[in-house]
Amino acid sequence: MSLPSSIQTKVEQIDGRMYVETEVEGKKLEATVDTRADTVYMEKELVDEIRLPYKKEIAYVKGVNAKSLPIHGIARDTDIQSGP
């Protein structure tokens, strides 16, 4: 799988997963790419580290063949950029 040619960024594949250099609210990160995702999930420790503002909400997320996990909140209208 490859990114569209209109996106110029460093892409690395490890164990079949695609990683890209990403910027969230001005903080540079390395992220995995899920081309069919409509939601992005982050560890709370990372959110706190990059000081991403979020609204605390009680909810759970569950993947296929996985146990339900609590979420700590939701960040809306967040700038996410891949590439220069």
Strand partners of residue 74 = 55
Which of 10 and 55 is assigned the larger pLDDT?
A: 55
Mean pLDDT for 3-13 is: 57
74 CB-side CA count, 13 A: 8
pLDDT at residue 4 greater than cutoff 50: no
pLDDT at residue 1 greater than cutoff 60: no
Degrees to nearest 5, angle at CA 29 with 82 and 26: 70
What percentage of the chain exceeds 70 in pLDDT? Answer: 76
Query: What does the pLDDT look like over 36-68, one tens digit per residue?
Result: 767 778 888 888 888 888 999 888 988 888 899
The pLDDT mean for the chain works out to 77
